Structure 1
Amino acid sequence: MAGTVVFDLDGTLADTSADLIAAANACFAARGIDVALDPTVDALTAFHGGRAMLRAGYGRMGGDLLLPPGAEDEDYPRLLDYYGRNIAVHTRLYPGVEDALDRLLADGHIMTVCTNKPQGLAETLLTALGVRNRFAALVAADTLPVRKPDPRPYRAAVERAGGDVAASFLVGDTETDRKTAAAAGVRVALVSFGPEGEAISRLAPDALIGHFDELPDLARDWLG
Structure 2
Amino acid sequence: MVTDLPFDGVVFDLDGTLIDSVPDLALALNALMDEEGLAHLRPDQVPAMVGQGARILVSKAMAATGRPIGAGADETARLERLHDRFVALYEAKPLVGTRPYDGAEDLLRALRDAGIRLGICTNKPQGPTEGVVKALGLDGLFDAVIGAGLIPERKPHPRPLLLALERMGVAPGRAAMVGDTPYDVDAAHAAGVAVVMVDFGYSPVPPAEAGADRLISRLADVPAALAALGETRKRA
TM-score (norm 1): 0.88
Q: Which residue among 97, 115, 129 is the counterpart of 2:104? A: 97
Deviation at 1:50, TM superposition (A): 3.1
Q: In the alignment, which residue of structure 1 is the partner of 2:34?
A: 29
Instruction: Report if aligned partners of 2:51, 2:183 keep a CA contact under 8 Å in 1.
Output: no
SS at match of 1:140: strand
Deviates more, 1:38-47 or 1:81-90: 38-47
Matching residue of 1:125: 132
- What corresponds to 1:13 in structure 2? 18
1-structure distance, mates of 2:55, 2:181: 17
Unmatched tracts of structure 2, length 5 or more: 1-5, 68-73, 232-236
Q: Deviations over 1:65-121 (max 9, x none)?
A: xx9994333221110001001111111111110111111112221111111111111
Contact 2:121 2:161 in 1 (8 A): yes
Specify the alignment match of 2:151 in structure 1. 144
Q: Is the 8 A contact 1:181 1:188 kept in 2?
A: yes
What one-letter code is carried by the residue in structure 2 that aligns with 1:189? V
Query: Which consecutive segments of 4 or more residues in structure 1 shift more than 6 A?
Result: none
CA distance in 1 between partners of 2:88 and 2:61 (Å)? 18
Change (3 A) 1:119 1:196: closer
Note closer, same or farther for the CA distance 1:164–1:174 as it changes in structure 2 (3 Å cut): same
C-alpha deviation, 1:138, in angstroms:
1.0
Q: CA deviation at 1:140?
A: 1.5
Q: Deviations over 1:112-166 (max 9, x none)?
A: 1111111111100101111111111111111123222221211110120122221
Give the corresponding residue for 1:42. 46
Q: Is the 8 A contact 2:40 2:65 kept in 1?
A: no
The more displaced of 98-107 and 213-222 is 213-222
Pick which of 68-77 and 104-113 moved more: 68-77
Q: Which residue of 2 aligns with 1:52?
A: 56
Aligned positions of 1:1-224 closer than 5 A: 3-33=8-38, 35-61=39-65, 70-196=77-203, 199-222=206-229
Percent identity, aligned pairs only, is 35
Secondary structure of residue in 2 paired with 1:9: coil
- Which string of whole-angstrom CA distances, capped at 9 and with x for unpartnered residues, describes residues 20-55 of structure 1? 11111111101222x111223321113344333433
Deviates more, 1:52-61 or 1:163-172: 52-61
- The count of residues paired between Structure 1 and Structure 2 equals 220
Query: Residues of 1 paired with 2:180 and 2:152: CA distance?
Result: 23
- Give the conservation status (yes or no) of the 8 Å contact 2:7–2:175: no
Asked if the contact 2:52/2:183 (under 8 Å) is kept, the reply is no
Structure 1 portions without partners, runs of 5+: none
Superposition TM-score, scaled by structure 2 size:
0.84
Give the CA deviation at 1:182.
Answer: 1.3
Query: How many Å apart are 1:60 and its aligned residue?
Result: 4.5
